[in-house]
Structure 1
Amino acid sequence: MADKLTENRAMSDLLAKNWWAIALRGVLAIVVGLIALAAPGLALLSFALVFAAYLIADGLVGVTSAIWAARSHERWGMLLAEGVLNLVVGVVAAFFPLAAVLAFALLAAFWALVTGGLMLASAYSLTAKHGRWWMVLSGVVSIVFGIALLIAPLLGAVVLTWWFAGYALAFGAFMLVLAFRLRKERRQNPTVSSDAPPRV
């Protein structure tokens, strides 16, 4: 139990140290959500390219966070897995923008479900005062978005765009709240332990 609490504290300290990366993810999600709301009638091609750009940017931020975690001798496996997943799905969406609505909806649903699951798993490594429940809410939003796409994959591109916009805005808002909770904790406890060997 003591070891688990120590690991959770170390992960929390790491996320608090890099709170701005989480804030950047939140801002990216909100910007993409606002774009999707402003132009809901975009063709699937345009939506796929916007979605791909967001995933690639978010994936790069996730991979960068994993590299920093490894350099700080903290757990980095989950961060890397989420970042690589976003990069792979983003590249696929960019190279196949003319895929059918069903294929794209199922691809987006798979991404949202897996990403949400990874975020829920990561939340167990975050202490409550660092904003664990905001990470949990972000994961739940991803999973709900994925389930919604699975239930109605043949809806038009406009409805899919609205769903994605709502998801992106909610996800981004939760990530910003989490980031500022981490920033507050970082300012109150500026020391971060980095003596432990790297773990995956």
Structure 2
Amino acid sequence: MLDYLVRHWWVLILRGAIAIVFGLLAVIWPAVTLVVLAVLFGLYALVDGAMAGVAAFRAGAGDRTPLIIEAAIGVLFGIVALVWPGFTVLALALVIGAWAVVTGVFEIAAAVRLRRELDHEWLYIVSGVLSVAFGIVIWFIPGVGLAAVALLIGVYAILFGAVLIALGLRIRTEGRNRGIIA
């Protein structure tokens, strides 16, 4: 495998550069990043729904109702995501907010129960309070939460790209040291 990587070290650098460009775009234009993700979800849901529909009609005898419903819901959600990507992004923010509030409440409840068995359970309470606060902020200012998600995606892509470039350069050096490449 090393021989292959050495001969194609430039592919790692190219992948890294593309990741860095994507990451920078995600950081600079988070709204565009989120709309693209919503459109990709819409395409996925539409294709998945269509495939479920094909499976429903090829299933033969028996009750195909669940597959037909799955197909219809997939196609419907796909169309909604493609026609209204902003709505899809907003819905995602509200779901993330709800998830944060619910998990935060349960973290606080678990901390209260752990009081008898664990020192420093207040850290668990703090994590629950932070989750609840984050969820409430997303509910009232969904753009902030979504911008944070896009920012995290961007930072990840930049770091990932930098690591791939470093790996590509390291492999090129190793190939030169072993005499595999000039």
TM-score band by shorter chain is: 0.3 to 0.5
Larger-Rg structure: 2
- TM-score calculated relative to the size of structure 1: 0.38
Structure with bigger helix share is 2
- TM-score calculated relative to the size of structure 2: 0.41
